[in-house]
Amino acid sequence: MQKEMLVHVKHLTRYYGQTCAVSDVSFELAKGEVLGFLGPNGAGKSSTMQVITGNLAPSAGSVTINGIDLLDNPKRAKHDIGYLPEQPPVYRELTVDEYLHYCAKLNRIARGHIDRTIDTARARCGLGDVRNRLIGNLSKGYQQRVGIAQAILHTPAVVVLDEPTVGLDPIQIREIRALIRELGEEHGIILSTHILPEVQATCNRVQIINAGQLVFADTISGLEQRLDVNSLVAGFHATPDAGTLQQVPGVTAVEALPDGRMRLSYAGSDPSEALVAQAVNSGWRLHELTPERRTLEQIFIELTCSDEPGSDSEAAA
């Protein structure tokens, strides 16, 4: 079944004076997707998000939201966008219900539908128990929930979340991630973050931006494949020499590690079964056999450390 595309970003470019903060960025977002938008500080994430949400004009390129060109018809396009900035735009002196009522009016929700709309957003964000409490007295996690509630109040097609879990404790982070996954079933979600585990925990697609350019775009399953490397770490009570291990079918190289274990590189199929059989037959007393994997952090560093972002104006992006 063909996916319903909600966002089309084509050749997006944004300059600050002579400095190019975003350069020729293109991507799409479908309904039901949670897209992780990764990048180091100053890479252009926030500038891209601000252009997509209509808060900044692009220097070049186009953004289409749910079939509506953001530049040609900004009011209609913005109606299909919900946005949570890094700092939630909440009024601490209002109660949760007062604030959501105010946001409903800002979004021009018909008077007869306001109560039902607020009830729905409140329930989806788990705010029922704090509806009458002052926002300023809530924990940061609940304030983030209030921020997400205002972003989805008008049931937008696209929800943009900028660093939604920064400053939260582990329990709050887990709750917000679960909420994002749930919202991703009915909306298209763009999650801008520099927290690497955030992407693996909540997203089904990932993009990495560096120095204003997209340097990686793939599904999470595609990313998982990149994490795999063709090597095993083996531990023996009676360690054979490297030459003997290299004769195991499929093994191409052997490296002795400082802790006494051996790293076996291979090409093609995994030689684990052949290694175990040889270890049993030869009395090597194998006690550990672990496939090696690169971390997302290693891939992220490989993709983003070749060039340093040069924009002073993007230092907070």
The string of pLDDT tens digits covering residues 231-254 is 999 999 999 999 999 999 999 999
pLDDT at 279 over 80: yes
Would you state the pLDDT for residue 311?
40
Burial class of 68 by CB neighbour count within 10 A (0 to 12, 13 to 18, 19+): middle
Q: Please report which helix (H) or strand (E) contains residue 289, including its range.
A: strand 286-293
Tell me the percentage of the chain whose pLDDT exceeds 90: 67
Alpha-helical regions (H) of 40-194: 45-52, 74-79, 96-106, 114-124, 140-152, 170-183
Residues carrying CATH 3.40.50.300, the chain = 5-223
The string of pLDDT tens digits covering residues 55-70 is 999 999 999 999 999 9
Residues 6+ apart with CB under 8 A from 244: 282
The CATH architecture assigned to 5-223 reads: 3-Layer(aba) Sandwich (3.40)
pLDDT at 303 over 90: no
Closest CA to 129 of 115, 116, 142: 142
Residues carrying CATH 3.30.70.100, the chain = 226-295
pLDDT at 307 over 70: no
Would you state the pLDDT for residue 306?
57
Look-up of token digits 């924990």: 139
| DSSP β-bridge partners for residue 22 | 14
Which of 4 and 132 is assigned the larger pLDDT? 132
Would you state the pLDDT for residue 14?
96
**Contact, 49 vs 190, CB < 8 A?**
yes
The string of pLDDT tens digits covering residues 8-37 is 999 999 999 999 999 999 999 999 999 999
Alpha-helical regions (H) of the chain: 45-52, 74-79, 96-106, 114-124, 140-152, 170-183, 196-202, 220-227, 242-245, 272-282, 296-304
- Rounded to an integer, the average pLDDT of 170-193 is 89
- Rounded to an integer, the average pLDDT of 288-295 is 85
Whole-structure pTM value: 0.77
Distance set, CA 249 to CA 22, 162, 274, 279, 281 (Å): 49, 49, 7, 13, 15
Residues 6+ apart with CB under 8 A from 181: 34, 202
Question: Could you say which DSSP state residue 241 is in?
Answer: P
pLDDT at 309 over 60: no
CATH number for domain 226-295, candidates 3.30.70.100, 3.30.1490.440, 3.30.1340.30, 3.20.20.70: 3.30.70.100
